Amino acid sequence: MEASQGTLPLNTCHVQKPLLIINRLHMLLHSTALGFLFYYRVRFLFQNPENRGSHLLPWLLVFASEIILSFIWFLGQAYRWRPVSRCVFPERLPGDDKLPAVDVFICTADPIKEPTIEVMNTVLSSMALDYPQEKLHVYLSDDGCSPITLYGMRKAFEFARWWLPFCRRYRIKNRCPKAYFSSVEIDDSDFVRSSLYMEDKQKIKGKYEAFKEDIQTFIKDKAFSKDSITVGDHSPVIEVMQENIIDDVDNVKMPLLVYVSRERKPFSPHHFKAGALNALLRVSAVMSNSPYILVLDCDMFCNDATSARYAMCFHLDPKISSTLAFVQFPQKFHNISKNDIYDSQLRSLFTLQWQGMDGLKGPVLSGTGFYMKRVSLYGNHANEGRTHMLPLQEYFGSSNEFINSLTQNDTSVFSSGQNTLLEEPHLLVSCRYEIGTKWGQDVGFLYDSVVEDFLTGFILHCNGWTSVFCEPSRPQFLGTATTNLNDVLIQGTRWYSGLFENGISKFCPLIYGSLRMPLLQSLCFAELTYFPLYCLPLWCFATIPQLCLLNGIPLYPKVTDPYFIIFLFIFVSSLSKHLLEVFLTGGTLQKWINEQRIWMMKSTTCHLYGCLDALLKKIGIREASFLPTNKAEDDEQTLLYQIDKYNFRASNIFIVPMLALLTINICCLVVGVYRVILVGDWGKMLIQNVLAGFIITVNYPVIEGAVIRKDKGRISQSVAIHAILATMFLLAFYKLVLVNV
Ligand SMILES: O=c1ccn([C@@H]2O[C@H](COP(=O)(O)OP(=O)(O)O[C@H]3O[C@H](CO)[C@@H](O)[C@H](O)[C@H]3O)[C@@H](O)[C@H]2O)c(=O)[nH]1
Ligand SMILES: [Mn+2]
């Protein structure tokens, strides 16, 4: 394909030199210190047991934890090896007539957790992308098969006929109606002073309000309740909102808009989002068959209209396009507070880590906000041609029309007038279609994990594909982040279960990956899959040193020992490196403490449950599940998050361990300090005292939630009693096992 006009590049890539130097220097110092630490620990084991002055079992546990922490730290350095940033020059793209077509896939599953108006805003914002309209096709997959979503689509299409020309005429930046009309959005249009613009704006606003009204009334009229959603049992429904038509009034073409609800049967596996995306992949192949695909979660609206052109700056760059599978934009969210107590924005992941992978072979596929090359999802079979009809059917299923689409790049079968009865699309989304084919294994989005995005991206990289991270200053997509503790931890449990599951499967990045991609790249993937293992060292560090403190057993060098410096250095070095990274990505000191805290909270709860869940799935006791997160706004919860107050009204399985661990730390610190005063061996026990003090300080909001706060988000008394019981149990258990062995 013709790329840049003349010799000017469509994009540039800069290595972030200063950061690279700091990172590598830090790696050198930190790993040297770790070397000394290991020497100190191993030496202990060879000492005469009588001279050791400590107990073997707690010592070994602490050592094992230090090894795991260092292992995850080591894997994480791969992200820091070669961070890059990129620039794009969309003005250098070829003319509109030469741009390739794009299919947009949006998934929704549950009209209660994912309010229809929000979903339609995502649909409208993607229809309004700044891209030739006849080359844009929007598909919505509705796993809930809800009449309200279908109705919403029809209404959205009607509204789009007003909305799209308006956006075009006035070159509106934010083409998500809800965001555009919201009071926080500042109108920076070039036409603000034009009275005609203001008039038009008011008119369109009225249309938008009417559109919302319509949907609200529909919901009320249908006495729409949870029971009325036929989850998991329905026939396929496909509706094309309207064919590409020319609007006479505005002379604006409308993109194709298609509603798809694949068939669902109770005992037929549907593979969650990956299954939905694969259904769309097949339907779109026989309708528009665009060579590029934009995937969006239903809450991820386009905050800027230029993303498709930005993505094409990479896909059409002849230097990288042959191996480029996808362009990933960062996940950003519209509902993040200044200090972001839950780290809902996943700061590290979507800034430093993805930039770091971009400097290697490219970022991990992140579920939403990416432009994928269609053929990269077809494995290596798409190019084999039509002569082997049989083998292709074994891969792709029985639809000849679909198989024909493999070789008909960019030809729209649908718009050429065939297929108006949608027979073939219905066949393609039936439950039976995938049986006996390679869908989900070799073809399309992969089914072996609930984090389908991670696995699919990983396998693409294993097969030699690359990816690119595109992070313009104005966020291209904005989603709804989970902003209450319970949701954050439930979502975390799903993610970490899915990630860890990959780490212990045949797709283990350290073995399967390192044989198929550069070592550093495979270390990045490994870091993600083994990240949940943080639960082991964090549980250990929150209990063992403290209980030993209680019993006067030292586990660390005393202040006068030269090795004391090593431990001090490692502690300060990791905290200050984290602080630096927070500052470099625009965070504050407060944000840094919040990240430390949520890391501890997550590690002791959802990392642990994630690992357990993955292990239980592995031995076949549990089944995979994917409950969509809640995207409906709850004012009370939003308020607590906005004023940096934790909402502890969460499941007991999360709150009880948190509070119990904290209670242990407080008890042990009190005794520890008392012992120092009484016995005076402060130098021997300093590290253990400081550790407990650090944990308590960082987690002060939990104490506040249990003791001081009176609002609804506090920790209730019954939960506190559970926690005290759990504390006593833990104390007794550890005493029995650790000290008496
Ligand atoms: O059976 C299902 C379940 C979910 N979804 C859709 O999948 C999307 C993501 O679900 P969400 O509840 O928002 O999960 P998150 O944890 O926020 O999603 C993150 O993590 C997922 C992997 O676990 C990725 O697929 C997502 O892109 C990524 O944003 C939503 O649009 C859902 O409607 C379906 O279509 N079918
Ligand atoms: Mn989401």
Candidate from 141-145, 265-269, 360-364, 735-739 with smallest mean pLDDT: 735-739
Range of the domain at 510: 17-82+503-739
Torsion angle, alpha carbons of 86, 89, 95, 99, to 10: 10
- Say what the pLDDT of residue 603 is: 97
Distance between Cα 108 and ligand 1 center (Å): 8
Whether residue 478 is contained in a domain is answered as yes
* 517 and 611 housed in the same domain: yes
Is 2 a member of any domain? Answer: no
Q: Is 273 annotated as a binding residue?
A: yes
Mean pLDDT of 376-403: 76
Question: Is the same domain home to 615 and 555?
Answer: yes
Q: Which protein residue's CA is at the shortest distance from atom 29 of ligand 1?
A: 367
Task: Tell me: do 518 and 601 sit in the same domain.
Answer: yes
Q: Which of 107, 143, 233, 271 to mutate to test the pocket of ligand 1 (most atoms within 8 A of CB)?
A: 107
Q: Is 118 in the same domain as 73?
A: no
Alpha carbons 604 and 608: distance in angstroms, whole number: 6
As residues whose CB is below 5 A from the ion ligand 2, the structure lists 297
- 675, 370 Cβ separation under 8 angstroms: no
List, in sequence order, every beta strand (DSSP E) within 472-520.
477-479
Ligand nearest to the CA of 449: 1
One domain, residues 507 and 407: no
User: From the CA of 367, which ligand is nearest?
Assistant: 1
Could you identify the atom of ligand 1 that is nearest to the CA of residue 110? Answer: 33
375 and 264 within one domain: yes
**Residue 345 counted as domain residue:** yes
Q: Are residues 27 and 115 in the same domain?
A: no
Could you tell me if residue 76 is inside a domain? yes
Q: What is the pTM of this model?
A: 0.94
Domain of 430: which CATH number?
3.90.550.10
- SS3 state of residue 247: strand
Q: How confident is the model at residue 387 (pLDDT cuts 50, 70, 90)?
A: very low
Q: Say yes or no: 62 and 97 in one domain.
A: no
d(CA 157, CA 302): 17
What is the C-alpha to C-alpha distance for residues 736 and 685, in angstroms, rounded to an integer?
22
475 is a domain residue: yes
Last residue of a domain, one of 437, 453, 483: 483
Q: How close is the Cα of 452 to the center of ligand 1, in Å?
A: 10
Q: What amino acid positions are annotated as catalytic residues?
A: 143, 453
Is the model's pLDDT at 244 over the cut of 60?
no
Q: What is the mean pLDDT of residues 279-308?
A: 96
Q: Quick one: pLDDT at residue 252?
A: 61
Residues 640 and 513 in one domain: yes
Tell me how crowded residue 721 is: count the other CB atoms within 10 A of its CB: 11
535 and 435, same structural domain? Answer: no
Examine the domain organization and report whether 239 and 287 are in the same domain: yes
Which residue of 233, 273, 489 sits with most ligand 1 atoms within 8 Å of its CB, as the best mutation to test the pocket?
A: 273
Among the candidates 438, 455, 483, a domain finishes at: 483
Q: Is 113 annotated as a binding residue?
A: yes
Q: Residue of the nearest CA to atom 16 in ligand 1?
A: 491
Q: What is the mean pLDDT of residues 505-531?
A: 97
Listed residues 450, 483, 516: the one ending a domain:
483
Q: Are residues 110 and 222 in the same domain?
A: yes
Helix (H) or strand (E) holding 294: strand 292-297
Q: Which residues have C-beta atoms less than 6 Å from ligand 1?
A: 107-109, 114, 141, 143, 272-273, 276, 297-298, 367-368, 450-453, 491, 494-495, 498, 626, 628-629
Average pLDDT score over residue span 402-419: 65
Residue 436 near residue 324 (C-beta atoms within 8 A): no
- Largest CA-CA distance found in the chain, in angstroms, rounded: 94
- With the most atoms of ligand 1 within 8 angstroms of its CB, the residue from 122, 126, 297 to mutate is 297
CA 666 to ligand 1 center in whole angstroms = 39
pLDDT single digits (tens) 87-141: 999 999 999 999 999 999 999 999 999 999 999 999 999 999 999 999 999 999 9
Structural domain contains residue 10: no
CA of 145 to the centre of ligand 1 (A): 16
Output the CA angle 585-589-593, nearest 5 degrees: 105
Q: Is residue 496 part of a domain?
A: no
The atom of ligand 1 lying closest to the CA of 479 is: 29
202: which 2 tokens?
A: 């008011």
Looking at the 3D structure of the chain, how many domains does it have?
2
